[in-house]
């Protein structure tokens, strides 16, 4: 197996070029144009390493977590290969993913990257009506993105034909194994042509993944983006903090952090030009003075933005990595990562912008739940600690504003310069209590300080303990889905909830579902429903017990109500089920 080391990409491009870094990897138009439109300025490390061998039809194992740009890493070569081949009615590529959510996400990405090619994509996953899938498959699709269970269903019905398949991608392979899909994967891969190209991506590489790779991949190129911890050029005085937040709340979260920290000069990093533009306008709408900087600007525009930032007229500079690389800014007090950067190098580059010249700096990263692995990798490889903190609440912000007003009032009192206002106070205290008058005045000051903006509560999400190694070897795997006509399993061999994995003890609660063995419910239906509907990683789900009439699933107690709410809207095996929280 070839080990590919990282090569740091140095951009030598004129800012107007859309995505020349991608053309050096062998990608052609119209993909290059699409990438330019999406605002991608350069390939991420996994893309640099994976795209050339995939274009050369090599099999590949990529160790990459979500957020590294792995979806484009396998989709772009796939689309180019498709463009160079004769289109068949049967699928050209099959992408297997663990959950419905990911199936939708990946198919949307394929659609985005393949728009100019006008390709046919179909996402198929359990829980979805089968008829429209059958119609689409009959009409012919180029790329199928599927969860293994449902893919196998279609293969057995002969509605999914694999004989013309040229490419198979196993995305988040470790998650698929965690969800008990190992046998399904074997069964599917066995029915694909021997000549196919196979790419396997996984955040972790437990022995079970190696064994799948041994059985189904041929002489794969192995990409592990960084094998050695990188020398962190991180100034020791950078305080590194992360906040877990879901995508829809990211702008509000950033605003909350800015309001609490009131930074002097801040550099906000985004991944794409598009994101820079969107975030800049969202921040300006909220009343901040921000400007965007990216590779799409000409020199005069750059100069203007930089001059405005240096003079303090612009408080927030929102930039892509490429644009910031050429920046001559000696010091910023805060670096904010709007996304977790796609590689530890990028992270180190970004946060190196603060904490310079002996001054202290803050590096703040917004982390989406799916990006937690990526952040852990960065911590490990930069040998630094990123403290996860809880976002300040509306009450925290109010308290801070009030404290600020209190301090200002004290300063005015000390300076004794309020003579002209005494008359108003004297008139008011004839009718009202002096303390009430003072409080009303503070309310007035508070209103003008907080502006008209209505503060929203941002839901608190807790990170999950990311264990170093998954299920120990030899321990029972997650239960298999019932194959048609097979005997239904009773209790599952699910090894454990998060408690038994070396992490701190997590309080678990039991959810009771009103359907069990008699309704054909298998463990995977429950794991699938929870993972799909509530977005809970399968490893967070504890032991499952299936009885004739009901099923019990242990889940982290603090998430139990959210899970119930999320699942309340779905069906299990086509039936509506009710869920209760059992008192332990």
Q: Does 292 bind ligand AMP (CB under 6 A)?
A: no
Q: Does 43 bind ligand AMP (CB under 6 A)?
A: yes
CB of 323 to ligand AMP, least distance (A): 12
Query: Mapped to the 3 state alphabet, what secondary structure does 344-412 carry?
Result: HHHHHHHHCCECCCCCCEEEEEEECHHHHHHHHHHHHHHCCCCEEECCCCHHHHHHHHHHHHHHHHHHH
Q: Does 66 bind ligand AMP (CB under 6 A)?
A: yes
Contacts (CB under 6 A) with ligand AMP, residues 74-113: none
Q: Does 70 bind ligand AMP (CB under 6 A)?
A: yes
Q: Does 63 bind ligand AMP (CB under 6 A)?
A: no
CB of 375 to ligand AMP, least distance (A): 13
Q: Are 78 and 143 in contact (CB under 8 A)?
A: yes
| Dihedral, CA of residue 364, residue 365, residue 366 and residue 371, to nearest 10 | -160
Tokens of 420: 């002209």
Binding-site member from 45, 62, 69, 542 for ligand AMP (CB under 6 A): 69
CB of 209 to ligand AMP, least distance (A): 18
Q: Does 67 bind ligand AMP (CB under 6 A)?
A: yes
Q: Does 201 bind ligand AMP (CB under 6 A)?
A: no
Q: Which is nearer to ligand AMP, 44 or 197 (CB)?
A: 44
Q: Does 337 bind ligand AMP (CB under 6 A)?
A: no
Q: Does 288 bind ligand AMP (CB under 6 A)?
A: no
CB of 528 to ligand AMP, least distance (A): 21
195/495 Cα distance (integer angstroms) = 37
* Beta-carbon count within 10 A of 131 CB: 8
60/218 Cα distance (integer angstroms) = 9
Query: What values do phi and psi take at 66, rounded to 5?
Result: -60, 140
Concatenating the DSSP letter of every residue in 59-127 gives -EEEE--TTSSHHHHHHHHHHHHHHTS---SS-SEEEE-SSHHHHHHHHHHHHHHHGGGT--EEEE-TT
Q: Which is nearer to ligand AMP, 70 or 249 (CB)?
A: 70
Segment contacting ligand AMP by CB under 6 A, of 62-70, 125-133, 210-218, 307-315: 62-70
Tokens of 375: 């952040």
Binding residues for ligand AMP, rule CB under 6 A, total 13
Q: Does 44 bind ligand AMP (CB under 6 A)?
A: yes
CB of 43 to ligand AMP, least distance (A): 5
Q: How far is CA 128 from CA 100, 150, 184, 563, in A?
A: 9, 9, 19, 20
Binding mask 227-266 for ligand AMP (x = CB under 6 A): ----------------------------------------
Binding stretches for ligand AMP (CB under 6 A): 40, 43-44, 47, 66-72, 271-272
């Amino acid at each position: 197996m070839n080990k590919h080391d990282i090569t740091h990409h140095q951009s030598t491009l004129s800012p107007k070029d859309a995505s020349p870094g991608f053309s050096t990897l062998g990608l052609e138009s119209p993909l290059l144009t699409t990438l330019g439109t999406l605002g991608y300025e350069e390939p991420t490390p996994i893309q640099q390493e994976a795209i050339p061998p995939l274009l050369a039809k090599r099999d590949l194992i990529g160790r990459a977590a979500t957020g590294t740009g792995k979806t484009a890493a396998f989709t772009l070569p796939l689309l180019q290969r498709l463009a160079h081949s004769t289109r068949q009615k049967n699928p050209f590529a099959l992408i297997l993913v663990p959950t419905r959510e990911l199936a939708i996400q990946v198919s949307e990405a394929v659609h985005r990257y393949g728009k100019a090619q006008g390709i046919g994509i179909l996402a198929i996953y359990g829980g979805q009506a089968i008829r429209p899938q059958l119609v689409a498959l009959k009409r012919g699709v180029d790329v199928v993105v599927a969860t293994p269970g449902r893919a196998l269903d279609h293969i057995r019905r002969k509605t999914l034909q694999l004989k013309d398949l040229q490419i198979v991608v196993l995305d988040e392979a470790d998650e698929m194994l965690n969800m008990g899909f190992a046998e399904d994967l074997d069964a599917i891969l066995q029915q694909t042509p021997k000549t196919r190209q196979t790419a396997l991506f996984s955040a972790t590489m437990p022995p079970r993944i190696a064994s799948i790779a041994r059985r189904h991949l041929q002489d794969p190129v192995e990409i592990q983006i960084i094998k050695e911890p990188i020398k962190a050029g991180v100034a020791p005085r950078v305080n590194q903090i992360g906040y877990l937040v879901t995508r829809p709340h990211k702008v509000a979260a950033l605003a909350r952090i800015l309001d609490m920290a009131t930074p002097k000069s801040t550099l906000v990093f985004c991944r794409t030009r598009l994101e820079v533009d969107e975030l800049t306008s969202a921040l300006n709408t909220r009343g901040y003075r921000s400007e965007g900087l990216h590779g799409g600007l000409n020199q005069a525009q750059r100069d203007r933005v930089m001059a405005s930032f240096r003079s303090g007229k612009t408080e927030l500079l929102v930039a892509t990595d490429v644009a910031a690389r050429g920046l001559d800014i000696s010091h910023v007090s805060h670096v904010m990562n709007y996304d977790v950067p796609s590689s530890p190098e990028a992270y180190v580059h970004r946060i190196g912008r603060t904490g310079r010249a002996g001054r202290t700096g803050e590096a703040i990263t917004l982390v989406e739940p799916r990006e937690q692995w990526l952040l852990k990798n960065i911590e490990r490889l930069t040998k630094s600690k990123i403290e996860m903190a809880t976002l300040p609440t509306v009450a925290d912000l109010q308290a801070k504003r009030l404290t600020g007003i209190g301090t200002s009032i004290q300063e005015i009192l000390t300076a004794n310069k309020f003579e002209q206002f005494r008359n108003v106070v004297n008139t008011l205290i004839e009718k009202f209590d002096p303390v009430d008058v003072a409080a009303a005045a503070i309310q007035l000051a508070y209103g003008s300080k907080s502006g008209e903006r209505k503060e929203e509560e941002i839901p608190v999400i807790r990170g999950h303990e990311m264990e170093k190694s998954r299920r120990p070897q030899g321990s029972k795997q997650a239960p298999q889905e019932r194959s048609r006509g097979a005997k239904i399993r009773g209790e599952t061999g699910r090894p454990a909830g998060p408690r038994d994995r070396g992490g701190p003890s997590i309080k678990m609660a039991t959810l009771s579902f009103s359907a069990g063995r008699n309704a054909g419910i298998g463990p995977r239906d429950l794991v699938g429903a929870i993972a799909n509907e509530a977005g809970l990683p399968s490893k967070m789900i504890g032991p499952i017990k299936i009885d004739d009439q009901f099923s019990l699933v242990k889940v982290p107690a603090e998430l139990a109500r959210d899970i119930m709410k999320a699942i309340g809207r779905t069906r299990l095996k086509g039936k509506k089920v009710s869920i209760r929280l059992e008192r332990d």
